[in-house]
Amino acid sequence: MKELLQENLSGGLFILVAISLVVTLGITKLNAHIRKRRYLIRRNPVRIYRQIYSKLCNFRLLEKFLDSIALRISVLNDDSYETNQEKAVIALILLALVIIINFTIVLPNVQIVWYLYLFYMMLGGVFLLCVLYTLELMLRMHFTKLLPNTYKILNSRFTTEGDILKAIDRSLIDVNPTIRREMVRIRNVLRKNDPSKIDETFSLMEKIYNNEYFTLLLNLIQQAYYKGGRDSVKQQFEIVTEEILIDIENKKDLALTSRMYVVIALFLPLGVNWLENFNDKALGEASLDFYSSPIGVSFKILLLTSMLIYIVSLLFLERTA
């Protein structure tokens, strides 16, 4: 009896140890899986957006649209172009969500006919694009204004140092933060001493800013990096600096006037809304009947469309002047 009890006890202990090992192994596996999932959750967004971008690039128009957004985002931050492409995907997803919400939730509940609401939505989208384009144009003009001082500082440092990398290093503390961000990119890629990488980065920077004077600056930096020639580079720096100053002076009055008219036009929809509210209070139902009639709706649509054409024309003239 005693031997049987000892045998059962030994068997029970063996089973208990086996169960403990299985539970321990299971807990270890579960913890490893949880840590892996946490890592994937942190890592997946970038991977997912990159995969989405790669799939969307199969459609030529979407690829151009995403690249256009990425180029504009690159003006505003220090991130790599690949990261900004992923941010462009996020912007596209948000845009798609806004459109879906408008069609599925807002449109069924509006008090006006559906085609008129769609027209207003399209008009609002174009208006928003004009506002963003105006801001982008102002940023680019501000960037151009910073270039003459950048040329002077870089030329002075290059004349002293005789080495473009040292000249860029010494110039960083003196240039505007916007220019400094690009100078850091230039310095970092030049330090790699990889011609293909240098050409790729410089080409991308040219596409981002689309500025002839910044392109000239990049060409002069490349010339100074590969060929040297302190006197010839110094002379070209001085010539281009003078050209930029003359060009900025010639465009200053036109840019100021056109921007003023654009800003006034951007507030026109608020004026139309204020006028409609004033007429509602002054004329009562007669005003409501007019603005609800086909003639009143057509008048508002014509006014808003004319405003957008006016803004686009001014922006185009300023861009091509």
Q: Residue 4 pLDDT > 50, yes or no? A: no
* Spatial distance between the Cα atoms of 153 and 75, rounded to a whole number of angstroms: 22
35 compared with 79, residue with greater pLDDT:
79
Query: What is 239-278 written as a DSSP string?
Result: HHHHHHHHHHHHHHHHHHHHHHHHHHHHTHHHHHHHHHHH
Q: What pTM was computed for the model? A: 0.67
What confidence category does residue 269 fall into, taking pLDDT thresholds of 50, 70 and 90?
A: low
Helices marked H in the chain: 2-56, 60-74, 81-101, 114-161, 164-171, 177-191, 195-209, 212-226, 230-266, 268-283, 285-292, 294-320
% of the chain at pLDDT higher than 70: 76
Amino acid at position 35, single letter? R
Q: Residue 37 pLDDT > 60, yes or no? A: no
| Average confidence (pLDDT) over 68-96 | 85
Amino acid at position 304, single letter? L
| Average confidence (pLDDT) over 70-79 | 82
What confidence category does residue 131 fall into, taking pLDDT thresholds of 50, 70 and 90?
A: confident
| Residue-wise pLDDT tens digits, 193-212 | 888 988 988 998 888 888 88
| Average confidence (pLDDT) over 288-310 | 75
138 compared with 15, residue with greater pLDDT:
138
- Any idea how long the chain is? 321
The rounded mean pLDDT for the chain is 76
Q: Residue 213 pLDDT > 60, yes or no? A: yes
**CB-CB contact of 220 with 233 (8 Å):** yes
* Spatial distance between the Cα atoms of 321 and 318, rounded to a whole number of angstroms: 5
pLDDT for 319 equals: 62
pLDDT for 32 equals: 57
110 compared with 74, residue with greater pLDDT:
74
Report which DSSP code applies to 172.
T
pLDDT for 30 equals: 57
Q: What is the Cα Rg of the chain in Å?
A: 32
